[in-house]
Structure 1
Amino acid sequence: MTAATSKPHLVIIGTGMAGGRLLEELMRRSADHFTISVFGEEPHPNYNRIMLSPLLAGEVSAEDIVLNPLDWYKEHNITLYAGERIVGIDKAAKRVVGDQGTQLEYDHLVFATGSLPARIPTPGQHLNHIYAFRTMADVDSIIHSSKSAKSAVVVGGGLLGLEAAYGLAIKGIKTTVVNRAGHVLNRQLDEAAGEMLRQAMLEKGVDTALNADIKEFTGSDRVTGVALESGEVIAADLVIIAIGITPNTALAHAAGLNVGRGIIVDDYLVTSDPHISGLGECIEHRGETFGLVAPIWDQARLLADRLVFNTQLPYLSSAVPTKLKVSGIDLFSAGEVNGLPEDRIVILQDPSQRAYRKLIIRDQKLVGIVLFGDVQDGNWYFELLEQQSKVDDLLPHLMFGQAFCRQAPEHNNQPENALTGASL
């Protein structure tokens, strides 16, 4: 309990999207249950990291992507230590220490420290104008460098890398994405859909180097190029490394918490210390780490219920669809993207409309979905996949979507939930 009040003191480390969502869930349940203090390394309130790409492209301002402005914290009596990093945790005394001298005792502590940009073991990363793409400060630096840049390389052909490349290309910068895999967005798309996306990105001014390993970044003081193992050298006045994330666990490890790939939590999101919980990209639950919004939102909801109501509902990880919009192109995938040789794989492709559908069926059940362009049936397909409903009776109309299956005469005697996707 704090000295000034009988309310328990909740301290949250992290002002990212996970910590911000937890605060919102807590306020919905009881704005007065805790005295709340929040620490964040960045000098901003929480903001939407998903919008960093539009921020780089100049489509939105920094103010536009703030989720909870400073006034929101004041209105809800939340003390925000923006720009102060926690450097020590005394578990026995239940005390946190900030790098600016703040020391606070807590009744419960929550780790929402998020993730750090993954690095690659490549020489030359010390050169100037090589950036991560994770924070507002990163975007500010990239925008500053882009004003004099004529060429750029983005390392990583995932969603973040493609969006960063598009943000540079629309500024008139010759941009190349370097990807180790044979096609872009290789975790979410199969080769055919990946090639369609590559062509679409090329039309937007983004070139690609696929199946490419980087040998080194070249230059004396600032980067001037990216040398590939193939011998090719791509000119680059700036480089963005966007190859993924790793859970931010250093503070938890120093505090003596159990750490694997992430901060290890149990089914109730409690760490190895009963007075410390965790959620978001920094945690590891049953061997799994997290980078998508949907599971983190579920974690925030369940953790808020436990902290406010002492509700002991376990967190259960579930399949999550990936619905993306890459530079204006709609994509949807869930489950497997390639399938097995014995699977029934159905593909519908219309190159003129740049539309692609791939369904992977195993043992009469949908196990994989890849949609490019037309994604309106994505959620319906996902319900069939998630519920493991048998779909053979819906063939051959399944490929054409929910409405077509409903209208097919031979399926008029099908149960309603098989055609609507409701309560399967």
Structure 2
Amino acid sequence: MQTGDKPRLVIVGNGMATGRFLDDVHKRAPGQFSITVIGDEPEGSYNRIMLSPVLAGETSASDIIGKPAHWYREQGIEFLGGVRIARIDRQAQCVVTSTGKSYRYDHLVLAVGSRPARIPAKNQDVDNIYAFRTLQDVDRIMASAHSALECDKSADTDALVIGGGLLGLEAAYGLALNGLRVMLLHRSGWLLNRQLDPAAALLLQQVMESKNIHFILSDEVVCFTGTDQVEGAQLKSGKSLSCKLAVIATGITPNVELGLEAGLVGKRGIEVDACMATSDPHISAIGECTEFEGATFGLVEPIWQHCAVLSDRLCFAKTTRFVNSPVPTKLKVSGVQLFSAGDFITTDAHRELLYEDAANGVYRKILLKDNRIVGVVLFGDTRDGPDYFAMLQDQRDVSDIAPFLLMGRAFYAAAPNQPVAA
């Protein structure tokens, strides 16, 4: 780098993490770097968590693109969309595209995200089997859905969704709103089994069934049927299903290959320290491709922290440190009020506070250890979720208000010696 030149900051990946990181850098030190953003999707940075409303027809694709191509030009940022990086040359401090073109960096940020997890089912390469990860995926699913609606209605199911986590439920809801008959298959015995207990999950299932979504639990696909395009699925239980399209939404796998092939340390993700630095001092990583103290990331809140921590370090040489804190779970499905944080399965180590009103679809469970909240599961009425979560994070002693917690803030805030902030 010649004297007087701006440091070259190259960012590989152009998802939500990059969009947020660019905002953070601009707020801290506008014009400090010569920035190049390279992404394999042609669009600018968009809000991936809004893909479900796009599929459901509740919003448009253009509405979720926060940084279209002209935004980069206006900010003086070089944007290369639809470009794939094939390798990192750490010695020369450059990245090399699949066409052989290289881009030199003084500092490289890997924000290469993740890809949909695969399932061990045979015959997955036939047409009309989709992931649910990108705007292109949504376009393809919607085209296939419209085609399915025009076909023969003799089949029991139009769409098969595989995965009963957040993404699978949102995909199923979007397809149902498009008029399809949807069957959701989940290998666990209850929905959202990493966030909910069986009782709350049953209430969720009942609400989703009212939206024309049907369920098969404790089962999985062994083989898809069909020669040119999917016609159905054979299940481990021996059941067979017919369908015109299938969506696999069983989780994500961090994109580690680019970093690990360059010799960076990592296992499940590209390993970073609390300041988002990798094992190479000239390379940092943020977002779903990272691994910190054995954990990987798929939710927005910790990734926003990644961006702030890295921006502080690159712009100010400030050692803000990332702390991997609990994050509450919510579901983006109209008519579903759900909140979960911390522990969700009751054990002998917990004191359980429980309220159930099945007739009105309300469920509240608070788990305590040593008179401190360690877990919250709410369904049907989540108004007090943020308060409970604040107490969980602060590890407040709730001895004085424990008898009133389930009844809501209006009751526990009035309790004597209560520790709830105004």
Q: TM-score category by the smaller chain?
A: over 0.9
Q: Which residue of 2 aligns with 1:9?
A: 8
Q: Is the 8 A contact 1:184 1:194 kept in 2?
A: yes
For residue 2 of structure 1, report the CA deviation from its aligned partner: 7.0
1:190 and 2:197 aligned:
yes
Q: Which residue of 2 aligns with 1:373?
A: 380
Q: Which residue of 2 aligns with 1:315?
A: 322
Q: Secondary structure at the match of 1:11?
A: strand
Alignment of 1:10-409 (within 5 A): 10-150=9-149, 151-407=158-414
Q: 2: distance between equivalents of 1:60 and 1:406?
A: 39
Alpha-carbon RMSD: 1.4
Q: 2: distance between equivalents of 1:387 and 1:170?
A: 40
For residue 386 of structure 1, report the CA deviation from its aligned partner: 1.3
Q: Secondary structure at the match of 1:153?
A: strand
Q: Is the 8 A contact 1:325 1:331 kept in 2?
A: no
- Stretch of structure 1 that moved more, 311-320 or 200-209: 311-320
TM-score by length of 2: 0.95
For residue 247 of structure 1, report the CA deviation from its aligned partner: 0.5
Moved over 4 A (4+): none
Q: Secondary structure at the match of 1:392?
A: coil
> Would the alpha carbon gap of residues 382 and 313 (structure 1) be closer, same or farther in structure 2, given more than 3 Å must change?
same
Q: Secondary structure at the match of 2:50?
A: helix
Q: 1: distance between equivalents of 2:243 and 2:66?
A: 34
Q: 1: distance between equivalents of 2:220 and 2:61?
A: 34
Q: Secondary structure at the match of 1:121?
A: coil
Q: 1: distance between equivalents of 2:294 and 2:315?
A: 27
For residue 363 of structure 1, report the CA deviation from its aligned partner: 1.9
For residue 100 of structure 1, report the CA deviation from its aligned partner: 3.8
Number of residue pairs aligned between Structure 1 and Structure 2 = 414
Q: Is the 8 A contact 1:188 1:322 kept in 2?
A: yes
Q: Which digits, 9 at most, give the CA deviation of each residue in 1:364-420, with x for residues without a partner? A: 11111001121111111011111221222213111111221123xxx33x15xx123
For residue 328 of structure 1, report the CA deviation from its aligned partner: 3.1
Q: Is the 8 A contact 2:170 2:332 kept in 1?
A: no
Q: Secondary structure at the match of 1:77?
A: coil
Q: Is the 8 A contact 1:159 1:326 kept in 2?
A: no
Q: Is the 8 A contact 2:120 2:222 kept in 1?
A: no
- Could you tell me which amino acid in structure 2 is paired with residue 326 of structure 1? V
Q: 1: distance between equivalents of 2:256 and 2:229?
A: 31
For residue 101 of structure 1, report the CA deviation from its aligned partner: 4.2
Q: Secondary structure at the match of 1:92?
A: coil
For residue 299 of structure 1, report the CA deviation from its aligned partner: 0.8
Q: Is the 8 A contact 1:361 1:368 kept in 2?
A: yes
Q: 2: distance between equivalents of 1:310 and 1:343?
A: 43
For residue 53 of structure 1, report the CA deviation from its aligned partner: 0.8
- Could you tell me which amino acid in structure 2 is paired with residue 89 of structure 1? I
For residue 108 of structure 1, report the CA deviation from its aligned partner: 0.1
- Could you tell me which amino acid in structure 1 is paired with residue 77 of structure 2? I
- Stretch of structure 1 that moved more, 41-50 or 343-352: 343-352
Q: Secondary structure at the match of 1:369?
A: strand
Q: Which digits, 9 at most, give the CA deviation of each residue in 1:271-305, with x for residues without a partner? A: 11100000100000111100110000011001001
**Structure 1: tracts of 5 or more residues without a match:** none
For residue 239 of structure 1, report the CA deviation from its aligned partner: 0.4
Q: 1: distance between equivalents of 2:371 and 2:59?
A: 46
Q: 2: distance between equivalents of 1:205 and 1:275?
A: 52
Q: Secondary structure at the match of 1:396?
A: helix
Q: 2: distance between equivalents of 1:328 and 1:36?
A: 43
Q: Which digits, 9 at most, give the CA deviation of each residue in 1:287-332, with x for residues without a partner? A: 1100110000011001001101110122221121223333331211
> Would the alpha carbon gap of residues 385 and 239 (structure 1) be closer, same or farther in structure 2, given more than 3 Å must change?
same
> Would the alpha carbon gap of residues 342 and 97 (structure 1) be closer, same or farther in structure 2, given more than 3 Å must change?
closer
**Structure 2: tracts of 5 or more residues without a match:** 150-157
- Could you tell me which amino acid in structure 2 is paired with residue 75 of structure 1? E
Q: Which digits, 9 at most, give the CA deviation of each residue in 1:68-95, with x for residues without a partner? A: 1222211210110011111121101101
Q: Which residue of 1 aligns with 2:154?
A: none
